[in-house]
Structure 1
């Protein structure tokens, strides 16, 4: 069963990585992927502290989901797809060796879900931006679909649980 999932992971990644290839995405995706980066999260945290009445839930959600993601990542040690699959189109962005789960996607969904609680009128925009971050990780050849999906779950579920229970 796991072998079948891994095979599907590779097929989906290759399809996304090659089928959507165009100069517009080649320009845009490396920039959009940073909406889940550590640097962006730090800037957003500073913004939240200054501009949001109670930024604690956002900050705690982001920290908790990031810690959980990191613990899983160093426990599983799944190599990045561009280290395993030949002929992927990749963009040399600063990353570590391991891909599962996607830290950028985890952070993006943690942030998006937090902002859905803060200002629900714009939920579609927040979630759409998080989905774009996840897609960018596939497009850039640095994650498999399961990496992105589990990152999405971690960011969303942890943030939801902390917002509902706090």
Structure 2
């Protein structure tokens, strides 16, 4: 289930970027792991399109925790892992959403990551504790999310893009 939820949530993340760009009148294309813009955007439009992806992930995580959906632990794990991986990629020289948000706001690339990864991590840790999930669950979730991330990253180049 982690693989499926991981892929679906990642697509929702990218869709949020695309729909926000459309709302600002931008055009481009969406893949499984990226949204490319073919028109220039104002700083305000760039800010909101970057906020949209991690923002929707945090909204989903908070809703899952508050409402205790059937797959809450997996949802929280996926959101935490996704935002943590974005921070790792930024540290490796490929600035991600939170780094771009921080740059636009003049805060640097790490404060927004601290907030998103911190909130997602706290929500996941609380759920992990409450459900008394163990190392077997954690290992399965880790492996499942790695498969999901691999699928969306490789799918970005291999699957058709949605033009908008």
TM-score (norm 1): 0.31
As a proportion of its length, which structure holds more strand? 2
TM-score (norm 2): 0.31
